[in-house]
Amino acid sequence: MSTILIVDDEQPIRSMVGFALGRAGFELREAADAEQAYAEIDRQRPELILMDWMLPGASGLDIVRRLQRNAETQDIPVIMLTARTEESDKINGFSAGVDDYISKPFSPAELIARIQAVLRRSRNTQPAESLEFAGLALDPLSHRVTANGVELEFGPTEFRLLKFFMQHPDRVYTREQLLDNAWGRNVYVEERTVDVHILRLRKALAPHGCDHYIQTVRGAGYRFSPTA
């Protein structure tokens, strides 16, 4: 049973969504503003957040950005609820970590379909279990990496990159694929940037003898393989 949090100041919307989700077998919790949202998330981590675009006080995007900065809440998928009248707002939702958008008004069927699509995607890429290979451990939930018991510090990008590698070990990925998976599909950065982050990962891993876990495959890309 998935727990879903809706953050919207309009009570009718919350009711409608609650009704639709209830029929589809989701458990819904509600928040009317940013403060309640933080409180609810803190009380129990939801599996997905439906975030209204306009809220009294803070915009939904502000909340998403703040969630992104927090290691505990960073990987909760978010679906934005937007209204047509706000199209002129300049936003950068996808790069902030928003997984999908739904325009109001929406049908219950569309809502359910999108929620399930996002959940399916995020479950594939976010196993809640800790990943460990030969002394190198990464825990997606606590957002922590340890090598032989010693905690390592990584920036968000390097963390995502290492997480992706550890989720798909022993397989070569091109720079482009790594950009798609650790950066996002809709960002345009130079492929060589991947090299730099690989370097930074290796540098951080080197003191613990784990730098060779990431191998260069000339002409193809990079591979995470702790056994080699």
Contact residues toward its own copies (CB under 8 A) are 80, 82, 85-95, 100-103, 110, 113-114, 117, 120, 141-143, 151, 155-156, 159, 170-172, 176, 180, 185-186, 188, 217-220, 223, 225, 228
User: Tokens for 145?
Assistant: 């990496």
| Residue closer to DNA, measured from CB, 6 or 147 | 147
Instruction: Identify what 172 binds: DNA, its own copies, none; CB under 5 to 8 Å per kind.
Output: its own copies
Distances (CA, A) of 52 to 30, 136, 145: 12, 39, 33
Q: Does 117 bind DNA (CB under 7 A)?
A: no
Q: How many helices (H) and strands (E) does the chain have?
A: 8, 12
Instruction: Identify what 187 binds: DNA, its own copies, none; CB under 5 to 8 Å per kind.
Output: DNA
Q: Which residues contact 206 (CB under 8 A, 6 or more apart)?
A: none
Q: Does 25 bind DNA (CB under 7 A)?
A: no
User: Tokens for 39?
Assistant: 């409180």
> How far is it, in rounded angstroms, from Cα 111 to Cα 116?
9
| Residue closer to its own copies, measured from CB, 36 or 174 | 174
User: Could you give the dihedral angle defined by the CA atoms of residues 214, 227, 182 and 174, in that order, rounded to the nearest 10 degrees?
Assistant: 70
Residue ranges of alpha helices (H) inside the chain are 11-24, 34-43, 60-69, 93-96, 108-125, 156-167, 175-178, 192-205
From the CB of 6, what's the least distance to DNA, in Å? 24
Instruction: Identify what 192 binds: DNA, its own copies, none; CB under 5 to 8 Å per kind.
Output: DNA
Contact letters for DNA, residues 146-165 (x by CB under 7 A): -------x-xxxx-------
Instruction: Identify what 103 binds: its own copies, DNA, none; CB under 5 to 8 Å per kind.
Output: its own copies
Question: Which residues here bind DNA, judged by CB under 7 A?
Answer: 65, 69, 153, 155-158, 183, 187-190, 192-193, 195-199, 202-203, 216-221
